[in-house]
Chains A and B, each alone.
Chain A
């Protein structure tokens, strides 16, 4: 599968748009070729005499003929445009179809990460995570999009067109994945210094796998068992990380930065910027500004032993 491509559809919506694109590309390409061919044909007389001072005189029948050709071209243009319009309307209708009830996920755009909350009428069952959205395959999922600061845009090309997240508005967007896979998306509305590195992943799993993931994600992490991880947890709670981040099951419940509950279960860190490996996590915590200059996460001064322990602790958050 081509990563983050609108031309590799993995859902009904993206597929309808892709078909529309190829159809428009064919017709549009043919029109362009026709116009260019007409242009080259019109130049055939260039091979004739040059430099004469006489102006070209066009006889009446040629003029009538030209009128007919031009009118015909205009009529064809109108017909083609009408066809485009009808096709677009048809695809739009198809994209708008959705069920009345579905799994609802709130996505809130921040500078420069995605907050993801799984809706539930029982507030204690809401699942809060960040930058990675798990959905079950084969069913439509409703996304409720809003923004916490500036305008962002949710875009996972393999699955669906984009939708802007605008402060002051909550909008509804529908996605549905046909088959399991991990689909990369990216913010598509310029939102400041790190707009380029505000990616997300939609992980589509079979319904049973999704339920298993959901159940596991809703339970707090097990407390760490070995001494390094325990020390790492203490570093996390005292070194300032808990001022911004949440880890379920601990006293760290801040919502300023992304939630780190089950941090190790995610494939990437820093909103899709780096793979979630030990080395990358260490490098990120040691100096976030070197990787995402302008990010709001500060470079907390840690001693090497503290950093190692902290990362060991984070590695236990599966």
Chain B
């Protein structure tokens, strides 16, 4: 077992002297460090800085979505309440859904990937650093655009799913829905960019020795999800950016039945994306659970192969479920039944994963620290949501429960239980790595209990409300329906959730104010990210490690073997083969650049301007050409590719 060594970035090696390591580290520092000041802030391509920013921004979106939910719940607390009129309520519930789904849930999962995947695979950086930065800035455009619109009374008001004809040109006058369509455009670009980055990083930049069957489950989940993003996002982009936006702006007839279009077409295109979307949120969370369960059960996870195959199977199946959102529409019943079967089938791989984790805990020695508590909260909450999901898969039952609060209950149980709880566990687990400080265990426990209790008190009554006839997306209801008491209970639960999030924020602020107190591996975990200091240096690893097993830090009897030979006078990364991760070549790594910010600005001009005039599109594209030229204009030195066989110049220090 590797002894915990708080004072060095890497365990000392017999042949590499301390002073040599420190000299190398300071040379790398000089080359990889981000410049200071506003310019440095705008031009950085360090995946950890971008990842950190992403995490902060997406968490702010979580808070914003939560505030919107608090308003909604307060309005629904009593029948006939007058806090919000229908117009404001419709804007709020649409913004809540759009924020949570597009601006929080997917980006925060990709943010975790952007920060951790390079560290976990032993790489110096992510595959396309400038593209990564561009993705973040494009996402920021979406955030600013939606929230400026909210305060300018221009927020979309047609639901996060924006069904036509309600969201079409005749029934949604003005530009509210155009705001929605372009928010989707920006977030879809950002997600695609992150997905491409992760796929290439995982396939080409893994540490030597990390063959595919040694890749950590966190990374597997991110890889699978990235493929899902690549296949799902273009569908919603076609629907919203191409079809809905052009129907509204230049009077196309995609969804106009009188001219040969079809209102149901929107639903198919949207839900073909919309169903995989929730698995895009859910699968990375499953990737968080394995390392947490392993670390706090003190054993390697049971059924690694089964877990990997379950992830992949879930991803495939999730593309065949979308019609279960449309069971109330006039689609032939036989076709609907096929989707019932598929929707039930997908419970099997998820069940396999849960059984494997339970087996791990059962045969391990569980330690109930805060990250592990959130994993237990996941079991408690998500399994409930999964079971109501199987119920909703049944066409007959769905015909009663569709578009009622039963579905609201189900979706929050699976998204909060299956997405947010593992996410909080991940925050507590990896916060020391990102910031160098531990979060308070006591406040963590308070956070956890308030959260779990709040979620169940808020959402369990909604099952009953839905079955008792309360439809979704209503700004008020009549007293004689009898829905008042349960709505009040749900609102109180929502307030409890708000308090628990405040506790979390207080915990974070308190920890950030203290001096760094976390070493490289405070939890004694097994991944490569725990081999470097907390927080990691800009270049991640002084020397690229060699992965000798699935759990490098648990399995190496002595110090971690590394590869030397990468240059430290300029930025350089090591590329390896896709399956076995044998070293292949060195690759230049781009310097900090302003072009990602600039191009994100051009994208803003193109897409936001398209709402108002085609001249903005032309102008914006013209400006983009300048950005693309600048991006591609690398010096001769950067372009030099060294296809030298790296192993000849490597010193294996094992």
Contact = CB atoms under 8 A, between A and B. Distances in A.
B476 A36 contact: no
Interface string B336-376: 01001100110110011011101101111111100000001
B79 to A, nearest CB: 11
Given A43-B368, A73-B351, A58 B399 contact: no
B475 interface: yes
A53 interface: yes
A193 B87 CA distance: 6
Given A171-B330, A192-B171, A157 B469 contact: yes
Interface in B72-93: 85-87, 90
Nearest to A111: B171
SS class, residues of chain B in contact with chain A: helix
Given A84-B394, A91-B396, A188-B471, A166 B330 contact: yes
B257 A167 contact: yes
Contacts of B394: 20, 24, 84-85, 87-88, 91
A63 B304 CA distance: 13
Interface in A61-85: 62-63, 66, 69-70, 73-74, 77-78, 81, 84-85
Contacts of B473: 190, 195-196
Interface stretch (A147-155, A216-224, A250-258): A147-155
Interface in A191-242: 191-197
Interface string A28-63: 110110011011011101101111111111100011
A66 B363 contact: yes
A81 B344 contact: yes
Contacts of A17: 396-397, 399-400
- Most chain B beta-carbon neighbours within 10 Å: one of A52, A153, A188: A188
A150 B303 CA distance: 50
- Most chain A beta-carbon neighbours within 10 Å: one of B356, B367, B469: B469
B397 A21 contact: yes
A39 B1 contact: no
A97 interface: no
A156 to B, nearest CB: 9
B337 A92 contact: yes
Interface in B319-344: 328-330, 333, 337, 340-341, 344
- Most chain B beta-carbon neighbours within 10 Å: one of A149, A167, A193, A197: A167
Contacts, number: 255
A74 B364 contact: no
B576 interface: no
A12 interface: no
A7 interface: yes
A98 B354 CA distance: 43
A32 to B, nearest CB: 5
Contact of B362 (A42, A162, A186): A42
Contacts of A31: 383, 387
A132 B391 CA distance: 32
B443 interface: no
A243 interface: no
A187 B477 CA distance: 12
A85 B341 contact: yes
B468 interface: yes
A115 interface: no
B308 to A, nearest CB: 15
Interface of B: 1, 85-87, 90, 158-159, 163, 165-166, 171, 257-258, 262-264, 297-300, 302-303, 306, 328-330, 333, 337, 340-341, 344-345, 347-348, 351-352, 354-356, 358-359, 361-368, 376, 379-380, 383-384, 387-388, 390-391, 393-404, 467-469, 471-478, 480-482, 524, 554
9 contacts: A21-B397, A32-B387, A54-B298, A55-B299, A69-B359, A70-B302, A151-B263, A188-B328, A293-B86
